[in-house]
């Protein structure tokens, strides 16, 4: 394994993190919020460290092998979070390294879990940087899930080998470059459109941009203590609900739609499944909210149900209502949606609709086989037969996901959390959602969590974001054998 | 499908239920508890209905095909429960048919969930019949899981095709006969030994027999309101802990051990896995109980931890302590053990250790494949490579189990149960345990559950007991196509 190569690439990433910080400075200056020095200093530090690492260690251009790719991807998120947390620490706004690291991991993994008890006291420059960590993380994830993971053979993402836009050459470099370019154009375009729409709804540029960043990334950091409930505007709720839904769908499909092929959405099994789950969940929740008289009118019930359902399944984590006072059935449905998550190739986290769909199809195929033991019943996805090794791969993902969830929850309960809160916190972090249930519900935050718990949850956010395999493979014996 | 054949076989089963009821009558007479008429009448009714059905519909001896086998097995448990509930209804002790059916399903499926608020007021004769339903159900399950399901191809049980004792001819009839005979001998022998040991510990014959019946069946019905806590005896706790553990292991292994081959236990991957989980869980729980000062001494902590852990993982459901006042971490571990359950070929329910082990091995194999994409990494179980179709089958079982759990929990929360209680009740019934969490914890019962909820839970007990596929296949379209 070429450790120099790995570290030099991490150097480039740290350099770009430093450059990105500069973008928060205009807001810092405009609002004269006192965060200028912290941001500028941190930025320069990152740029210098990044460049030095790159220049001192850079190796002649060589191919990255599979093993190195796993290390680069995993440590990239770790390095981004360590260096990205510097402005929070040096400004004294989040003095504890654990807290600052947690908040920044939560940003780059687009989770949105926060240890801040009063978000609005943060200087605008830092708030902007906080939202930007999510936007950058979202960009990284789209690229990772549509261009890198399919090649690495992670958790069934091979199904998307042919789906990534750009020339499908089988060499990593040109393909990643092309794919990245077109997908980021879509991502930037959608962010721009949403920002405009939010400004039309009365938000100022700062808040509109910050919220568009965290919507498109399905991140869920808000600049307001009350999250989107702060605006109490049906228009803003609707705009954000729609854009969260878009961000939770496969960006390769958006790319095709922008090229004029809207029908692709409805030919795509995963998108149809995702849409169906969202609609059915909204329907049931609206019904239950109306019956239980949580809201006076059907239209109010549907507005709040739709926002919360879409926010959770897309793993965004904004809130406009405290679903913990809603009927238990809705809370349990939300808990299940937390596991399902967004679509593969979106910025959303969780198990992903594609995997759930294939697992259900396999279950159905096995039931048929009981009656016709000799029949060959293939599992079909997007009109193709899913190869057996991909089904196995998805099975392994599912088992690994559940196992990680169980182990992390056991640890959190050992630290004294009750079962519902522990399950909620772990799944909210593992699926990169943000708010969970119990003491980490939509109107709570993560500040009260035990120090060790914050590290466990940070770890969950990273491995969840990297589709488990990518990060966990590094802990296997076979990874370290030559 | 030969419906006459199916119904005539159900007739035989009802006949045997009637005969079995007669065995409760000696206790009814000895204690002059007033249940004689109810038991005798019900018995005669079952015998007459059973014989009439058999004689009127019996067909010349023909082979049962797969489709008919699924119907017979599923409706057998249903018919047993309907007819087995008659003594409770006619005696007026459980006047509601829903309640009586729930209690009897809970018996024959060896679940142990009860709607009785004061068990000790029931006449001894009825209490004996109640314990016997579990013992008979346990017998049925051993036969089903080691002789019938492997042939039907249900949920990976094919792995046990070669394991069942008796001549391994590939025709159903002689094999089932032989297998049944030797396994029931083991079952009866173990029940007898436990009864003796309990009598030595000071129980009277009635209680010793009743508790041995429900231990060996991993059923968990007790004749006492306080369950085993009633006796407050370390000796009885230890005897029952050991026999619950035995009942949760594969009876084919016990058969071999009795034939002198004790080492078979430790060559068996599932048994070693089961033993490890039990020991690790007891260790962690004892540690937590000691740290949290729930018990004064380490030995008391280990006694109560071991009893509760073994009771839950084997899906027995006896209790000697209210684990709901124990540290959250232990409660969560117990919740996970509820999903795992006993070994295949035992009387225990749940997902089964064999399946969990193979799923974990598959996960590990997939992680290795990431590093060596072209390597062939087989999943090995008991020194044999697990065929791919069996892995798929087990995957489907797992997904079906989780899906059933989720759907049933959504329904229970819709009926107004809180999330923890709903999850606890559903898994306690689906895994055939008995006590769950929340409002159906070890010191509670199921009497307060909504009428519709009792039917849903009865349904869960039956499909859980029949390894899901067996019962659910009947609801598929393909089952009804010719």
What residue numbers bound the domain in which B68 lies?
3-235
* Poorest-pLDDT segment among A165-169, A358-362, A377-381: A165-169
Q: Identify the residue whose tokens are 């196995």.
A: A392
Tell me the HSE value of B260 on the side-chain side, using a 13 A CA sphere. Answer: 0
Structure tokens at A47: 């740029």
At residue B166 the predicted structure's pLDDT band, cuts being 50, 70 and 90, is low
Rounded average pLDDT over A344-353: 95
∠ CA B239-B244-B245 to the nearest 5 degrees? Answer: 100
pLDDT at A373: 82
Question: Distance between CA B186 and CA A477 in Å, rounded?
Answer: 43
> What letter would DSSP give residue A33?
-
Q: Identify the residue whose tokens are 């990297």.
A: A466
Confirm if B174 and B181 have CB atoms less than 8 A apart: no
In order of A328, B131, B420, the CA distances from B437 in angstroms are: 16, 23, 6
Indicate yes or no: CB of B399 within 8 angstroms of CB of A479: no
Query: In a 10 Å sphere around its CB, with 0-12 CB exposed, 13-18 middle and 19+ buried, how is residue B178 labelled?
Result: middle
Question: Distance between CA A367 and CA B109 in Å, rounded?
Answer: 22
Look at residue B169 and tell me if it is in a domain: yes
Which residues 382-421 of chain A have a CB within 8 Å of chain B? 388, 391-393, 395-400, 403, 406, 409-410, 413-414, 416-420
Rounded average pLDDT over B459-474: 93
At residue B172 the predicted structure's pLDDT band, cuts being 50, 70 and 90, is very low
Look at residue B428 and tell me if it is in a domain: no
In order of A438, A453, A466, A471, the CA distances from A75 in angstroms are: 32, 21, 11, 9
Instruction: For B184-202, write each residue's pLDDT tens digit.
Output: 899 999 999 999 999 999 9
3-state secondary structure of A311: helix
Question: Distance between CA A168 and CA B427 in Å, rounded?
Answer: 47
Share of chain B above pLDDT 90, in %: 78
Residue A169 pLDDT exceeds 80: no
Question: Distance between CA A296 and CA A290 in Å, rounded?
Answer: 8
Query: In a 10 Å sphere around its CB, with 0-12 CB exposed, 13-18 middle and 19+ buried, how is residue A400 labelled?
Result: buried
ipTM metric: 0.92
At residue B170 the predicted structure's pLDDT band, cuts being 50, 70 and 90, is very low
| Best B334, B340, B399, B456 residue to mutate vs chain A (most A CBs within 10 Å) | B399
Look at residue A138 and tell me if it is in a domain: yes
> Higher pLDDT residue, A431 or B163?
A431
> How would DSSP label each residue in A361-386?
HHHHHHHHHHHSTTS----EETTEEP
Residue B240 pLDDT exceeds 50: yes
Look at residue A23 and tell me if it is in a domain: yes
In order of A54, A72, B114, B277, the CA distances from A60 in angstroms are: 12, 17, 72, 51
> What letter would DSSP give residue A439?
G
Look at residue B60 and tell me if it is in a domain: yes
Residue B298 pLDDT exceeds 80: yes
Nearest to B76 by CA among B473, B470, B369, B477: B470
Look at residue B459 and tell me if it is in a domain: no
pLDDT at B171: 42
Residue A475 pLDDT exceeds 90: no
Look at residue A448 and tell me if it is in a domain: no
Would you call A450 an interface residue with chain B, using a CB distance cutoff of 8 Å? Answer: no
Rounded average pLDDT over B109-134: 96
Instruction: For B43-69, write each residue's pLDDT tens digit.
Output: 999 999 999 999 898 777 677 888 888
Q: In sequence order, which ranges of B217-297 are alpha helices (DSSP H)?
A: 234-247, 251-258, 264-267, 269-291
Question: Distance between CA A179 and CA A170 in Å, rounded?
Answer: 13
| Best A366, A385, A390 residue to mutate vs chain B (most B CBs within 10 Å) | A366
Rounded average pLDDT over A440-447: 93
Helical axes A97-108 vs A451-465, angle rounded to 10°: 20
pLDDT at A156: 83
Confirm if B273 and B360 have CB atoms less than 8 A apart: no
Q: Identify the residue whose tokens are 């016709």.
A: A372
pLDDT at A282: 98
At residue A157 the predicted structure's pLDDT band, cuts being 50, 70 and 90, is confident
pLDDT at B174: 59
> Higher pLDDT residue, A431 or B181?
A431
Instruction: For A293-314, write each residue's pLDDT tens digit.
Output: 889 899 999 999 999 999 999 9
Please tell me which of the candidates A328, A360, A414 has its beta carbon nearest to residue B422.
A328
Look at residue A418 and tell me if it is in a domain: no
Structure tokens at B466: 């029949």
Q: Identify the residue whose tokens are 């173990």.
A: B190
Instruction: For A210-269, write each residue's pLDDT tens digit.
Output: 999 999 999 999 999 999 999 999 999 999 999 999 999 999 999 989 988 899 999 999
Would you call A328 an interface residue with chain B, using a CB distance cutoff of 8 Å? Answer: yes
Longest dimension (CA), chain A: 74
Residue A176 pLDDT exceeds 80: no
Rounded average pLDDT over B72-93: 96
Question: Distance between CA B287 and CA B282 in Å, rounded?
Answer: 8
Average model confidence (pLDDT) across chain A: 92
Would you call B64 an interface residue with chain A, using a CB distance cutoff of 8 Å? Answer: no
Strands (E) in A399-441, as ranges, are none
CA distance, residue A148 to nearest chain B CA (Å)? 13
Helical axes A36-57 vs A3-22, angle rounded to 10°: 150
At residue A170 the predicted structure's pLDDT band, cuts being 50, 70 and 90, is very low
Structure tokens at B277: 């989980």
Question: Distance between CA B293 and CA B281 in Å, rounded?
Answer: 18
Share of chain A above pLDDT 70, in %: 97
> Higher pLDDT residue, B249 or B154?
B249
**Taking the mean position of all CA atoms in its chain, how far away is CA A133?**
11
Q: In total, how many domains does chain A have?
A: 1
> What letter would DSSP give residue A145?
I
pLDDT at A340: 97
Rounded average pLDDT over B233-252: 97
Share of chain B above pLDDT 70, in %: 97
CA distance, residue B16 to nearest chain A CA (Å)? 29
> Higher pLDDT residue, A3 or B99?
B99
> How would DSSP label each residue in B369-387?
HHHSTTS----EETTEEPP
Rounded average pLDDT over B58-83: 88
Question: Distance between CA A301 and CA A406 in Å, rounded?
Answer: 34
Residue A8 pLDDT exceeds 60: yes
Question: Distance between CA A46 and CA A117 in Å, rounded?
Answer: 28
Within a 10 A sphere around the Cβ of A370, how many other Cβ atoms? 23
Nearest to A199 by CA among A231, A224, A246: A231
Instruction: For A93-119, write each residue's pLDDT tens digit.
Output: 999 999 999 999 999 999 999 999 999
pLDDT at A482: 61
pLDDT at B394: 93
pLDDT at A453: 97
Residue B169 pLDDT exceeds 50: no
Would you call B290 an interface residue with chain A, using a CB distance cutoff of 8 Å? Answer: no
Average model confidence (pLDDT) across chain B: 92
- The β-bridge partners of B380 are B385
Residues 6+ apart with CB under 8 A from B439: B417, B418, B421, B425, B448
How many contacts (CB atoms, under 8 Å) link A and B?
158
> Which residues of chain B lie closer than 8 angstroms to A366, CB-CB?
392-393, 396-397, 469
Residue A422 sits at φ, ψ, to 5 deg, of: -65, -45
| Best B71, B291, B414 residue to mutate vs chain A (most A CBs within 10 Å) | B414
pLDDT at B168: 43
Would you call B2 an interface residue with chain A, using a CB distance cutoff of 8 Å? Answer: no
pTM score of the predicted model:
0.93
pLDDT at A59: 77
> Higher pLDDT residue, A473 or B216?
B216
| Best B281, B291, B328 residue to mutate vs chain A (most A CBs within 10 Å) | B328
Instruction: For B412-431, write each residue's pLDDT tens digit.
Output: 999 999 999 999 999 999 99
3-state secondary structure of A275: helix
Residues 6+ apart with CB under 8 A from A259: none
Residue A39 pLDDT exceeds 70: yes
Asked whether the CA dihedral A437, A443, A445, A450 is positive or negative, the reply is negative
Question: Distance between CA B405 and CA A417 in Å, rounded?
Answer: 24
> Which residues of chain B lie closer than 8 angstroms to A283, CB-CB?
none
């Amino acid at each position: 394994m070429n450790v120099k190569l790995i570290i030099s690439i991490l150097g480039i990433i740290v350099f770009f993190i430093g450059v990105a910080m500069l973008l928060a400075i205009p807001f810092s200056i405009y609002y004269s919020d006192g965060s200028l020095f912290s941001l500028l200093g941190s930025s320069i530090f990152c740029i210098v460290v990044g460049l030095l690492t790159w220049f001192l260690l850079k190796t002649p251009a060589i191919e990255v092998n599979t093993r190195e790719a796993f290390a680069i991807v995993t440590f990239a998120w770790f390095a981004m979070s360590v260096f990205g947390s510097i402005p929070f620490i040096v400004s004294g706004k989040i003095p504890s390294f654990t807290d600052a690291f947690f908040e920044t991991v939560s940003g780059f993994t687009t989770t949105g879990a926060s240890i801040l008890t009063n978000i609005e006291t943060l200087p605008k420059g830092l708030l902007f940087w906080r939202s930007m960590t999510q936007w950058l993380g979202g960009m990284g994830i789209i690229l990772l899930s549509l261009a890198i993971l399919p090649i690495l053979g992670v958790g069934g993402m091979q199904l998307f080998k042919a789906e990534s836009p750009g020339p499908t050459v089988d060499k990593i470099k040109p393909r990643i470059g092309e794919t990245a370019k077109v997908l980021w154009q879509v991502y930037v375009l959608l962010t721009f459109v949403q920002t405009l729409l939010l400004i039309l709804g009365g938000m100022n540029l700062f808040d509109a941009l910050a919220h568009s960043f965290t919507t498109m990334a399905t991140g869920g950091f808000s600049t307001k203590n009350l999250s989107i409930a702060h605006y109490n505007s049906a228009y803003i709720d609707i705009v954000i609900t729609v854009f969260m839904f878009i961000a939770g769908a496969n960006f390769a499909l958006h790319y095709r739609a922008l090229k004029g092929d809207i029908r692709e959405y409805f030919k795509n099994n995963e998108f149809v499944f995702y849409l169906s789950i969202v609609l059915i969940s909204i329907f049931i929740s609206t019904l239950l909210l109306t019956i239980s008289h949580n809201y006076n009118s059907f239209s109010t019930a549907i507005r709040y149900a739709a926002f919360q359902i879409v926010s959770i399944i897309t793993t965004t984590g904004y809130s406009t209502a405290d679903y913990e006072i809603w009927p238990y059935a809705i809370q349990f449905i939300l808990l299940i949606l937390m596991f399902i998550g967004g679509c593969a190739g979106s910025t959303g986290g969780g198990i992903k609709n594609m995997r759930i769909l294939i697992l259900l199809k396999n279950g159905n195929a096995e039931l048929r086989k009981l009656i016709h033991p000799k029949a060959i019943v293939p599992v079909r996805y997007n009109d193709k037969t899913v190869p057996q090794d991909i089904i196995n791969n998805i099975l392994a993902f599912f088992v690994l996901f559940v196992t990680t969830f169980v182990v992390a929850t056991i640890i959190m309960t050992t630290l004294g959390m009750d079962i519902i809160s522990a399950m909620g916190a772990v799944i909210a972090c593992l699926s990169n959602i943000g708010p969970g249930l119990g003491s980490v519900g939509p109107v709570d935050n993560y500040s009260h969590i035990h120090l060790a718990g914050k590290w466990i949850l940070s770890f969950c956010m990273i491995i969840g974001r990297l589709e488990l395999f990518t990060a966990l493979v590094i802990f296997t014996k076979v990874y370290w054998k030559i």
